[in-house]
Amino acid sequence: MSTIENPTREKRPAARHVVARADEIVPGASRLVHVEGRDIAIFNVAGEFMAIANRCPHEGADLCKGKLVSLFESDEPGVVRLSRHGELVRCPWHGWEFDLRSGKSWCDPARTKVKSYDVAVEHGARLIEGTYRAEVFKISVDDDYLVLEL
Amino acid sequence: MSTMSETHTKMARFETAGAIDCDVHPPTPRRADLLPYLDDYWQEIVTSREVDVLELMGYPERTRPYMRPDWTWSGDPLAQMQENLLDPLGLEGAILNVVSGAHALFDPYLAAAICRATNDWLADKWLSRDSRLRASMLVPFQNVEAAVEEIERRADDKRFVQVLTLAMTELPLGRRTYWPIYEAAEKYGLPIGIHAGSNFRHAPSHSGFHSFLIEDHVVQPQGFSTQVASLISEGVFVKYPKLKAVMIESGVTWMPALMWRMSKDWRGTRIEVPWVKDAPADIIRRHIRMTSQPFDGPDDVEDVAKTLDHLLSDDMLLFSSDYPHWHFEGLDVLPEGLPEAKVNKILRDNVLATYPRFGG
């Protein structure tokens, strides 16, 4: 069997999309953004921005509406360790926890995963305009904008 | 001359020689049986208070339908058991379970005295008369301190291989109140045997008391499910990782449904019980065992293997006859449709892996 010549499709470099102004999403809050046809939930975790696919892989609930929780671990009934403050989101429907850094479900990491995206905060001057229509929001070069890579 | 029935002729589907039967019932001892093992005070108390028939409502042992016409019912109950069960099946061992009012007594001190006397009676009248026999020890869950003392007292007697309680109890069995019992049980290699039945601290159903016997049979798996969920959620197997619990006379096929439901719902409720680090189904496969009679199987025997496959484990099922209950005909003691490849594990290997004291 011969290999079909595939016209070289250049792997598109990750585009950088302006999705929000950083100060619009306060610590502990979230925002749903639409980038290239995808719904992405962005969270502000104590000043650090994290983004995951909005759709819960279980039944499709909006993860952007979920509450942020810390990681709860225990080796002894009744004695609980708290770490990674607010870095997990609990799905608003069935309470599954997803790690905002990896997108992994805490209970069943092998089977259930939400895509996580890189989010960076960059200065307005270095922005490439993306899906987010910056003009609408009157961007000024001095403000900090959220940029999403996709 | 007795009437010929199927019980006389039905042959064993599988060879049972060398098997170990995990649920065999001697008659519940009455006052006259226990008096020699009670001290002066308790002898007077049980006599003046007319404590005699220690029969649980849920286990009416003299109910006719349970008694097989081809089995011997007169004379020495051990001789009957040998003739009806141990000899014809060629059993290597059998575990005696006394399901008695001792589980239900309100007086915590009387309960301790009756449990202790029952264990002495088992050792004296049963275990010492047939080396194939082992027993579950009765301990008063109503009096945890005395229960631990009783376990300590019997620890060196390896013929006691398990601690016995019921499917429906005063509190869910996972509660910390009972942990000293589990600590001692784990220390001495004693699984917790959870036998069908209730001590009637609560109505047996979650909607109150039912009217008919058939309903009593139906509520048992709900009692077992509650206990398994409690043991896992409260973290008993985290605290006592070597402990096992054996569901005795539970019916078996309710278990996959519990595994599915609990594993599914655990994903969303895990933050309440973060010490439950694995899917409950995995914990169940490691720590929970079930005896094989009675067996609630699908009508089509071809589907029995499929049903058992849902457990995703060949380690969970332990052979039992539930003697003298009439669950099988002739010597055909194993449920129809069991896959042949699993039978040896069920008859013996799983039993020895569950009861470390069996080897002595």
Query: Global pTM?
Result: 0.88
Q: What is the model's pLDDT at position B93?
A: 98
Does B294 sit behind a cis peptide bond, omega within 30 degrees of 0 on the bond before it?
Answer: yes
B-interface mutation test, from A107, A112, A113, most B Cβ less than 10 A away: A107
CB contact under 8 A, A94 and B268: yes
Question: For chain B, what are the domain ranges?
Answer: 6-359
Per-residue pLDDT at A140 exceeds 50: no
Q: What is the model's pLDDT at position B65?
A: 63
Per-residue pLDDT at A1 exceeds 70: no
Whether residue A1 is contained in a domain is answered as: no
Structural domain span for residue A24: 16-149
Q: What is the model's pLDDT at position B44?
A: 97
- Whether the CB of A69 is below 8 Å from some CB of chain B: the reply is yes
pLDDT digit string (tens) for A98-139? 888 888 887 776 666 677 777 777 665 454 433 322 222 222
pLDDT digit string (tens) for A63-106? 999 999 999 999 999 999 999 999 999 999 999 888 888 888 87
- We report the CATH number of the domain holding residue A120 as 2.102.10.10
- Whether the CB of B268 is below 8 Å from some CB of chain A: the reply is yes
Nearest to B275 among A74, A95, A106 (CB): A74
Which residue in A has a C-alpha nearest to residue B271's C-alpha?
A72
Whether residue A100 is contained in a domain is answered as: yes
- Whether the CB of A88 is below 8 Å from some CB of chain B: the reply is no
Bridge partners for B133 per DSSP: B94
CB contact under 8 A, A75 and B275: yes
Whether residue A8 is contained in a domain is answered as: no
Q: How many domains does chain A have?
A: 1
Are B101 and B113 within 8 A, CB to CB? no
pLDDT digit string (tens) for A12-64? 666 778 888 888 889 999 999 888 888 888 988 998 888 888 888 888 899 99
Could you say which of 3.20.20.140, 3.10.20.600, 3.40.640.10, 3.40.50.1100 is the CATH number of the domain covering B6-359?
3.20.20.140
| Residue type, position B262, single letter | M
Q: What is the mean pLDDT of each run of 10 residues along chain B (360 residues)?
A: 59 89 96 98 96 83 74 91 96 96 95 98 98 98 98 98 97 98 98 96 93 92 97 98 98 96 92 93 98 92 92 97 90 89 94 91
**Residue B260 gets which letter from DSSP?**
H
Q: What is the model's pLDDT at position A135?
A: 21
Whether residue A45 is contained in a domain is answered as: yes
A4 or B21: which carries more pLDDT confidence?
B21
CB contact under 8 A, A95 and B274: no
Angstrom distance (rounded) from CA A95 to CA B108? 43
Nearest to B235 among A77, A91, A94 (CB): A77
Closest Cα of chain A to B331: distance in Å?
Answer: 46
Alpha carbon distance, N-terminus to C-terminus of chain B: 43
Shortest CA distance to B201 belongs to which of B225, B181, B223, B231? Answer: B223
CB contact under 8 A, A72 and B274: yes
Q: What is the model's pLDDT at position B64?
A: 66
Measured CA distances, B344 to A66, A121, B16, B236, B248 (Å): 50, 64, 9, 30, 19
